[in-house]
Amino acid sequence: MILIGENDVATEQSVLGAVFLDSSVLDDVVFLEERDFYIPRHQQIYKVIRYLESKGQPIDLITVTDALAKFGDLEGMGGVSYLSQLAQSCPTTANVEYYARIVRSKAMERRVKNTGDIINGMSRDDYESDEEFFSYVENLIAEMRPQDNAKMLSFSETKEEYYTHLKTPAEFIKTGFTEFDKWAQGLWRGWLFVSAGRPSVGKTAIALQRVYGVAQQKKGVVLVWSQEMKRNSLKDRMLSAVTGIPFQKIKNKNLNEKEQALLDMAYENFEYLPIFMQDSSGVTIDEIRATAKQFKKKHGRIAMIVVDYLQIMNIPQTKGETRALAIGRVTGQAKQIAMDMNCVFYMLSQMSRASEMKGRPTLGDLKESSSIEQDADVVEFLWSEGETTSQGKIVNQTFAKGRDIGVNEFKLLFMNWKQKFTEVPDEVKV
């Protein structure tokens, strides 16, 4: 146990006392959290101060006393006499940021020690899987870190940073779809890319085709979570698309000698690609984050994370939380993972049943959560008007949202018999 000394108590008192002297110093200690204070009554007092600030109310001895009397235990806080003592404990506000950083540093020291004690006391047997165990450890470490309070900086202060950014070549990840890559330059790192479609339009097929295209670029590993299909079923589809061997023949294990040799050759090529698959249902966003961190640490870079699909993930709801809000929480975290890992987070999504009764889908047709469209950088809809050719079905590819790239629409041919999409050239579009 880390004990707190008299000097540490005095430092906490000086921070609170400075606020009573001049509440504008709160802008200088914006990084300080309620939990950073060791003394419980200091935590409560700071909480009340921040509450008053959020309501735009004045902060002084009288308002804090009234608020503590209303929301807390004023006498338990030491009463008016203790608040008066705090107000007198800091003769100047000049060093308040320095004092606040000492308070946070001491808090971090305590949290590291406490977290270490918790981890040392944990037992793997208390968790259903290794993933759940390590995910919990990851969460403990994440909770230990202080909140990130970025500073407002001027053009002058960030000039060097900007020109370094300007000289760094832009990196896009080609997908193998020529028209899309020409229009959008490829997939952008940091994107949350949502691919939504009606039943039987090939959402999984186009996702796997992109997995193959991205993996060929060798710009990082590609992680695929499949919750409806087994890993071998995904391989059947990918090998059919690459070799041209009919999907049903591979699925039914009905290959002739020539087809088997062709499949073997294709599989050998896949072995050199950085594609990793997991075929368990009910994946959580925490598991995805923890696994992605491990792969980034081991392999250096992640190119793309693929989840098939959003609505069947394991998404716990807190008390009073709606399903839509819970899904929104997951999409928000998915976007954060894309940013933190500097990769593409490719998420498949269902569309609402009502969308089947009309033509071109809109963002409002995304199932269960309007926050999907808010969090996503790109939203793609795959839909068909029933048009077919001798080779397959014509599928409309509508980009209803594209941050920094705009909106667009392409026509694709889905050759279901070999689980492959091709772009329909302009001259043959109808």
Long-range contacts of 74-81 (CB under 8 A, 24+ apart): 76/41, 77/41, 77/44, 77/45, 78/41
Mean pLDDT for all residues in the chain: 85
* pLDDT, position 185: 93
**pLDDT score for 1:** 45
Beta-bridged to residue 383, according to DSSP, are 396
Q: What percent of the chain has pLDDT over 90?
A: 39
Other CB atoms closer than 10 Å to residue 305's CB: what's the count?
26
CB proximity list for 426: less than 8 A, separation 6 or greater: none
Q: Assign 211 to helix, strand or coil.
A: helix
DSSP H/E element including 411: strand 408-415
For residue 84, pLDDT over 80 is answered with: yes
pLDDT > 60? residue 333 = yes
Does 429 have pLDDT greater than 60?
A: no
pLDDT digits (tens, 9 = 90+) for 42-74: 999 999 898 888 888 899 889 988 988 887 678
pLDDT for res 386: 82
- pLDDT tens digits, 108-161: 888 888 888 888 887 767 766 676 677 677 777 777 776 655 567 889 988 998
pLDDT digits (tens, 9 = 90+) for 167-196: 888 889 999 999 999 999 999 999 999 999
Tokens describing residue 425: 């050239």
Average pLDDT rounded to a whole number, residues 354-383:
79
> In terms of Cα–Cα distance, which of 238, 335, 311 is closest to 277?
238
Q: The domain 172-428 belongs to what CATH superfamily?
A: P-loop containing nucleotide triphosphate hydrolases (3.40.50.300)
Residue 370 has pLDDT above 70, yes or no: no
> Domain locations in the chain?
6-121, 172-428
**Which pLDDT belongs to residue 277?**
92
pLDDT at 425 over 80: no
* pLDDT average, residue stretch 378-402: 90
Q: What's residue 116's pLDDT?
A: 87
**Helices within 272-382 (DSSP H only):** 285-299, 323-341, 371-375
pLDDT given at position 193: 95
Q: Mean pLDDT, to the nearest integer, of 256-266?
A: 95
Pick the CATH number of 6-121 from 3.30.470.10, 1.10.860.10, 1.10.10.10, 1.10.580.10: 1.10.860.10
Single-letter residue type at 109: E
Q: What is the mean pLDDT of residues 203-231?
A: 92
Rounded-to-integer distance, Cα 7 and Cα 9, Å: 5
Q: Is 172 exposed, middle or buried (0-12, 13-18, 19+ CB in 10 A)?
A: middle
pLDDT of residue 430: 45
Tell me how far CA of residue 391 lies from CA of 273, 387, 418, 419, in angstroms. Answer: 29, 11, 10, 11
The DSSP call for residue 351 is: B
